[in-house]
């Protein structure tokens, strides 16, 4: 088995994912080839990966290459985890819209930031997929890069490569519910469908009981804003804390329980990230700060450098789905996973071929999404317009035409005045040009 890791110099993802791969019995003996355009990062993460493998009895063979074609040649799986333009591009994605009065808590999926990021990343992923069609046509492309939905749609629309996008947001929400009700996480069973970063929990059982009824009872006693009180930033990591107030407010008012972190959910609807809400602070949502992200990356790099130098670190499986899913596809233990794949009828009232997030059974024969029928009307009213905008983003990325991108931006719920969409888009495109290779 050969696994190519495009973006293998990622300080955030590579140690975690390589640890998961190394601890997965079905993948023992595989060749893991790391590739990155950053030679220094690739060298550091290769040495870290070799040490990880050494600690778990050399279950993988790790090599590295600066040649992407060499990494892709005859691969069975292609992991892609990249950030084109890095934090400098992210700063543009956040600060340019903010000059127009638009606040984004993440800025990597929807809104102006999600649009700009999609226009940077979709062409790259399509190029990799086209290379795969020649070098490893039967391989699976496995992606953890945002914006997942538009990237996946771009690849499946432009190429024949099989691709799966994997996100951990639902896992995080399930952990929060387990903590809230003080029950083991395995007692919580969810049925999920929607789009990435806006999946909906259609059915919820907790210890065999009606979980939504339990949640309503809890809210009647405590209130949704329990998790928004006294918010302050004490560490660089606090910005990622999910305080639940957005989800629970929507559940109280709409009867809809979304299955992603509040920082993502807030960007899909109007009203949560406005001056009136203190730019989200009233709901416990903190905006992404690029300087904090840079500090987090610096701290993580110091930790990895220490590990390479011999500082002990306990290696444990993460909650990411990538390694167990690869094992299932390779003939190992089967399972159910939250995936982002084209809609083949698993959600009846969303367009066919649109990329949706859903539960799927995965085995050696492939990915088998579980059908849920129609999304309820309130859910459909929120999600369907975003699906239409995602199609516009993909159209713009694949054709280079500005008009679809402008239409997507003018109709986005974060854009409070359509008149600002044109000049803001021009600024974003100019900023993107500085970070996008020819």
Is 435 designated active site? no
Q: In 3D, which of 15, 356, 316, 358 has the Cα closest to residue 170?
A: 358
Computed on alpha carbons and rounded to an integer, the radius of gyration of the chain in Å comes to 21
Instruction: Collect all residues with Cβ–Cβ distance below 8 Å to 168 and sequence separation of at least 6.
Output: 319, 320, 321
Instruction: Collect all residues with Cβ–Cβ distance below 8 Å to 140 and sequence separation of at least 6.
Output: 76, 77, 78, 162, 163, 164, 326, 329
| Phi-psi domain of 235 (left: phi exceeds 0; alpha: psi -120 through 50; beta: other) | beta
DSSP, collapsed to helix, strand or coil, labels residue 204 as strand
Cis peptide leading into residue 147 (ω within 30°): yes
> One of 121, 134, 168, 416 is an active-site residue; which one?
168
Geometric angle at alpha carbon 266, from 260 and 268, rounded to 5°? 90
HSE (side-chain half, CA atoms, 13 Å) at 239: 14
Strands (E), 43-145: 60-65, 77-80, 140-143
- Are 132 and 141 in contact by the 8 Å Cβ rule? The answer is yes
Catalytic residues, by residue number, are 168
């Amino acid at each position: 088995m050969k696994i190519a890791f495009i973006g293998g110099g990622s300080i955030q993802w590579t140690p975690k994912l390589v640890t998961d791969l190394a601890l997965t019995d079905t993948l023992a003996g595989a060749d893991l080839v790391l590739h990155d355009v950053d030679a220094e990062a690739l060298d550091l993460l290769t040495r870290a990966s070799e040490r990880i493998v050494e600690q778990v009895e050399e279950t993988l063979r790790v090599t590295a290459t600066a040649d992407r074609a060499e990494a892709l040649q005859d691969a069975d799986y292609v992991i892609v985890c990249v950030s084109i333009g890095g934090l400098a591009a992210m700063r543009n994605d956040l600060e340019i819209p903010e000059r127009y009065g638009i606040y984004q808590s993440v800025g990597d999926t929807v809104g102006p930031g999600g649009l700009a990021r999609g226009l940077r990343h979709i062409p790259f992923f399509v190029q990799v997929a086209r290379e795969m069609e020649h070098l490893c046509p039967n391989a699976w492309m496995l992606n953890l890069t945002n914006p997942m939905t538009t990237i996946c749609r771009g690849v499946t629309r432009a190429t024949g490569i099989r691709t799966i996008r994997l996100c951990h947001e639902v896992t995080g929400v399930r952990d929060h519910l387990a903590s809230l009700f003080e029950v083991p996480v395995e007692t919580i069973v969810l049925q999920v469908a929607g789009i990435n970063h806006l999946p909906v929990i259609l059915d919820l059982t907790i210890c065999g009981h009606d979980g939504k009824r339990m949640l309503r009872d809890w809210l009647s006693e405590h209130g949704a804003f329990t998790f928004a009180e006294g918010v302050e930033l004490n560490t660089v990591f606090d910005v990622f804390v999910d305080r639940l107030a957005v989800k629970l407010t929507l559940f109280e008012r709409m009867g809809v329980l979304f299955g992603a972190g509040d920082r993502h959910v807030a960007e899909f609807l109007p009203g949560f990230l406005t001056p009136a809400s203190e730019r989200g602070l009233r709901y416990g949502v903190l905006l992404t700060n690029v300087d904090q992200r840079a500090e987090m990356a610096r701290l993580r790099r110091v930790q990895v450098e220490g590990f390479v130098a011999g500082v002990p670190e306990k290696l444990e499986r993460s909650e990411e789905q990538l390694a167990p899913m690869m094992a299932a596809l390779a003939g190992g233990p089967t399972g159910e996973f939250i995936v982002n794949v084209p809609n083949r009828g698993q959600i009846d009232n969303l367009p066919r071929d649109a990329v949706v997030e859903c539960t799927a059974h995965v085995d050696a024969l492939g990915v088998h999404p579980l059908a849920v029928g129609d999304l309820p009307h309130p859910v459909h009213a929120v999600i369907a317009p975003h699906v239409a905008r995602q199609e516009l983003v993909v159209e713009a990325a694949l054709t280079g035409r500005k008009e679809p991108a402008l239409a997507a931006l003018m109709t986005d719920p974060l854009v409070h005045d359509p008149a600002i969409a044109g000049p803001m888009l021009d600024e974003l495109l100019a900023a993107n040009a500085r970070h996008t290779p020819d």
